[in-house]
Amino acid sequence: MMSRWLLTLLLVSASVQIQAQTTVAPEVLKALQSAQSEQQSGRLDSAQQKLANLSLKDGTLEQALVWRSQGYIAWAQGNTAKAVGLIEKALASKKLDTNQTKEDQLSLGKLYFIQKDYQKAVNYLANAAETDEILQMKIQSWQRLGRYDQALPLAERYLAKQPSIDDQWLQFMIGANIELKRYKDAETWQRKLLLRHETDVRQWRQLAGIQQMAGSHVRAMATLRAAYSRGLKFSENDLDNLVAMAAASDQPWQGARLLENMLQTGLLSKSLSREERLAQLYWQARERKQAAQAYGQLAKRTGKAQHWMTVAQLEMQQNNWQQGLTALDSAERAGADRQRVKQWREWAQTSMAIDSNKQKQVVSR
């Protein structure tokens, strides 16, 4: 996904916007202005001291302005937790004017972002003007909260304003769309990344993976062949992982078709483990006919009793009783448990007899 960017946060001085307000005592106003001057000069301890000994009445504008000023000084000192507490108290007082309120909401959004409290960050940034900086903070916050449905539209708006898009943003757009199962959009962004790195086998593999997740094993296979025709080589582990990804995405049929095509075209070498994997995928996909065929071929190669038992089970699940009995005979010769074989044989013979009687009754009518 998207890597974290560095934010250049300009420490906001706590401007004292007082318009001939008689409710602010002259000594308090003087202390606020003096603290602001000390802060701007970098003398932060002195700035805090200017406000430390003021006598303030609870619930007054004076108190709110002092909290506010102390909060911004604490931020400048790097004490974000203290800054948050003070600025939130000033905001909660309801004594600040509209501009001060908006400024403090923006500042709290930035402070909570620094503290990695992303839910509170997006809450405070909800109504902030969408500058590039704010959009980036909101996108990353929603991403960290796992809310790609919120992050993606913001990212689209952000990128629409950029003269160029770097690879990290392309990767973010690919990943976010995959998270939301918007595979068509993910493929569009992946193709943009592929155009920049046409000789990078990883980009071709990722494109095939997206197509596979979208349920199109045919297009995924075409992508792999296109890369292969360009002289790019996939490791067998890469290709095995594509099949595994399909199975993990609850798409065993797609995985089976992809694996079968790879084995047929020679992209993957045939092995007993891959043939067994193909049989398992067809079984998981409830494609019993293909699964029985695959397990039958595997059983002939391995001679394992378990493989013949699986063939028997799959054939009998399709009411292919004679084929099931034949597979049971092979399983018994290969050393399968005789009691188990006997039980299954009796079941198959009984079921076959029932089916035969039903057919006779239909004919007699």
Give 14's Cβ-side CA count (13 Å radius). Answer: 33
Q: Inter-axis angle of helices 305-317 and 272-284, to 10 degrees?
A: 30
Q: Are residues 168 and 242 both part of a single domain?
A: yes
Last residue of a domain, one of 222, 251, 286: 286
Query: Does residue 172 surpass a pLDDT of 50?
Result: yes
Residue 363: per-residue pLDDT: 61
In this predicted structure, the answer to whether residue 255 has a pLDDT above a threshold of 90 is no
Q: Flag whether pLDDT at 145 surpasses 70.
A: yes
Residue 14 has a pLDDT of 45
Output the domain CATH number for residue 198.
1.25.40.10
Residues 207 and 314 in one domain: no
Lowest-confidence segment of 44-48, 70-74, 185-189, 359-363 by average pLDDT:
359-363
d(CA 325, CA 320): 9
- Same-domain status, 169 and 274: yes
| 4 band by pLDDT with thresholds 50, 70 and 90 | very low
* Domain count across the chain: 2
Mean pLDDT of 241-256: 80
Q: Measure Cα distances from 314 to 30, 223, 282, 290, 359 in Å.
A: 89, 34, 11, 10, 23
- Whether 255 and 313 map to the same domain: the answer is no
Query: Alpha carbon 113 to chain centroid distance?
Result: 21
- 200 found inside a domain: yes
Percent of the chain with pLDDT over 70: 92
Which residue, of 260, 286, 312, is where some domain finishes?
A: 286
3-state secondary structure at position 137: helix
Q: What is the mean pLDDT of residues 314-323?
A: 92
Q: What's the whole-model pTM score?
A: 0.70
**Average pLDDT score over residue span 152-179:** 96
Given a contact cutoff of 8 angstroms between Cβ atoms, the answer to whether 193 and 173 are in contact is: no
**pLDDT for res 362:** 65
Neighbours of 301 (CB within 10 A): 12
Which DSSP symbol is given to 10? P
Per-range mean pLDDT, top range of 7-21, 52-66, 121-135: 121-135
211 occurs within a structural domain: yes
* pLDDT score of 364: 61
Please, where are the H alpha helices in 167-287? 167-179, 183-196, 201-213, 217-229, 236-248, 252-265, 272-284
Angle CA(333)–CA(339)–CA(341) in degrees, nearest 5?
A: 50
Distance CA 263, CA 111 (A): 56
| Domain stops at, among 258, 286, 314 | 286
Does residue 330 belong to any structural domain of this protein? yes
41 in a structural domain: no
Nearest to residue 138, comparing CAs of 109, 167, 163, 159?
A: 109
Amino acid at 99: N
| Average pLDDT estimate for 96-111 | 95
**Average pLDDT, whole number, for the chain?**
87
The residue written with tokens 């494609």 in the block is 287
Helix (H, G, I), strand (E, B) or coil at 186: helix
Of the two residues 24 and 192, the one the predictor is more confident about is: 192
- Regarding whether 255 and 346 lie in a shared domain, the answer is no
| Domain contains 262 | yes
345 shares a domain with 311: yes
Query: Are 126 and 148 within 8 A, CB to CB?
Result: no
For residue range 62-91, what is the model confidence (pLDDT) as tens digits?
889 989 989 998 998 999 999 999 999 999
Residue whose structure tokens are 């937790």: 81
Residues 6+ apart with CB under 8 A from 292: 311, 314, 315, 318, 320, 323
DSSP class per residue in 329-351: HHHHHTT--HHHHHHHHHHHHHH
Highest mean pLDDT among 16-20, 216-220, 358-362: 216-220
238 and 319 co-located in one domain: no
Is 223:246 a contact under the CB 8 Å cutoff? no
- Least reliable range by pLDDT among 46-50, 149-153, 196-200, 314-318: 46-50
The residue among 47 and 15 whose pLDDT is bigger is 47
Same domain, 178 and 226: yes
Q: Based on the domain organization, do 274 and 311 belong to the same domain?
A: no
258 part of a folded domain:
yes
104 within domain boundaries: no
In which band, very low, low, confident or very high, does the pLDDT at 6 lie, cut at 50, 70 and 90?
A: very low
What pLDDT, on the 0 to 100 scale, is given for residue 204? 95
Spatial separation of the C-alpha atoms in residues 83 and 75, rounded to whole Å: 5
Secondary structure of residue 15 in the 3-state scheme: coil
Q: Say if residue 23's pLDDT is above 60.
A: yes
**Spatial distance between the Cα atoms of 128 and 115, rounded to a whole number of angstroms:** 19
Cβ 45 vs Cβ 39: under 8 Å: no
Pair (206, 315) in one structural domain: no
Within a domain: 101 = no
195 shares its domain with 256: yes
Side chain identity at 34, as an amino acid letter?
S
CA distance 174 to 12: 36
**Domain, as residue range, for 343:** 304-358
Residue 169 and residue 281 in one domain: yes
Of the ranges 95-104, 226-235, 309-318, which one carries the lowest mean pLDDT score?
226-235
Of 196, 253, 257, nearest to 222 by C-alpha is: 257
Tokens of 328: 């049971």
The answer to whether residue 11 scores a pLDDT higher than 60 is no
Q: Is 53 helix (H, G, I), strand (E, B) or coil?
A: coil
Distance CA 280, CA 310 (A): 10
